[in-house]
Amino acid sequence: MTKSQETIIKKVEELCAELFQNYKDWDKEGEKFRNKIEREGGEKPEKENEYKIEGKKITEKYLRKRSEILKEIKNQILKDLTLWELDLEGNIQPMPGLSINTHGAGGGYILFGYKPGTNYIHFFSEKPNISYKKEITCAFVEEIKQNPQDWEIITEDKRDAPFVERPMVANRSDCQVVKHKSGRRHNQGYQWYKNEKGEIEGPGFSNEEWAEIENALKNQKSDNKELTEKKRELQIEEDKNKKMIEERERKEEDSLSISGDKKDQGPIKKVVDSQQNQPQKTDNKENRHKNIYYGVGLISLVLFLVSVVGVWVKKRK
């Protein structure tokens, strides 16, 4: 976890503690007001209008404070969406493995008899809190649309889900969840009331927001299919080109081999010719020696004959 994320979590915990304290202060002041009415003899008709005005002032004071705190919580959540999820009831809760002490800020239902300590943050449906919640769900939608390849929509059976605010709508076996590859998940939420258009919606994503998510993921699947097809075509073309290159290289190697054989025959032929001519050279040498020998013998014979003739001529004289 980064330093920035730690700072966000710490700030959210502080704001949740402040929010819960606001609930408790509201409850205490409300109890004092009720005790005052009882001391004055109950809700008398002549005092009814006075009590309503005073009670309204008390309520507005704490509602205004609650909205201020929720606005700041919303700003902290928007700083890093990766820390948060949308639960079945449309509440904001920490991502899996991240524990945040919300100090009962999960609605702060102490006023209505619910036990505090839930690990989620509830944005009430009155204005301006509902607009804060809308900012967060819109941000979740944009996050999904930016990287739809990291998300998928799955269907889950929530009939055995733990207690929720409205158990009458918990018996659902077809709850839609958009899940991130990291494990984060946003529930579409229970669809239990009619919106301004008369359509059934829930406290989580609106129908329009969920449709945006579905379209983003659907288009991503189409893009993936098209990309896969293009990759397949490119692979086929690449294999074809590779085969052509290998065939050309093989032919070039064969051509070089044949050319090399012809060039190499020169020295080989010289050696063979030399070997073949070696006996001939030897014979020529021997013949040359013989010719010299016979020439010398012939010259000696001629000189001998000349000497004999010279002696014979001298004797005749």
Q: Name which residue leads in pLDDT, 3 or 157.
A: 3
Q: In angstroms, how far is the first alpha carbon of the chain from the final one? A: 149
Output the CA torsion 138→141→142→143 (10° steps).
120
Structural element, H or E, at residue 54: helix 48-79
Query: Is pLDDT above 90 for 150?
Result: yes
Cα angle: 116, vertex 132, 66; to 5 degrees? 45
Task: State how far the Cα of 286 lies from the Cα of 144, in Å rounded to an integer.
Answer: 104
178: left (phi over 0), alpha (psi -120 to 50) or beta: beta
Question: How high is the pLDDT of residue 87?
Answer: 84
Cα angle: 150, vertex 156, 159; to 5 degrees? 155
Q: pLDDT tens digits, residue range 17-58?
A: 898 888 889 889 989 988 888 888 776 777 888 888 999 999
Beta bridge partners of 94: 84
Amino acid at 54: E
Query: Is pLDDT above 70 for 95?
Result: yes
Helix (H, G, I), strand (E, B) or coil at 251: helix
Task: State how far the Cα of 66 lies from the Cα of 15, in Å rounded to an integer.
Answer: 10
Beta strand 193-194 with 200-201: parallel, antiparallel or unpaired? antiparallel
Over residues 271-299, the mean pLDDT reads 54
Which range among 70-84, 178-192, 196-210, 243-257 shows the weakest confidence by mean pLDDT? 196-210
User: Which of 103, 28, 13 has its CA nearest to residue 62?
Assistant: 28
Task: State how far the Cα of 83 lies from the Cα of 184, in Å rounded to an integer.
Answer: 9
Q: pLDDT tens digits, residue range 194-253?
A: 556 666 556 678 888 999 999 999 998 665 555 566 677 778 777 888 888 888 878 877
Q: What is the CA radius of gyration of the chain?
A: 53
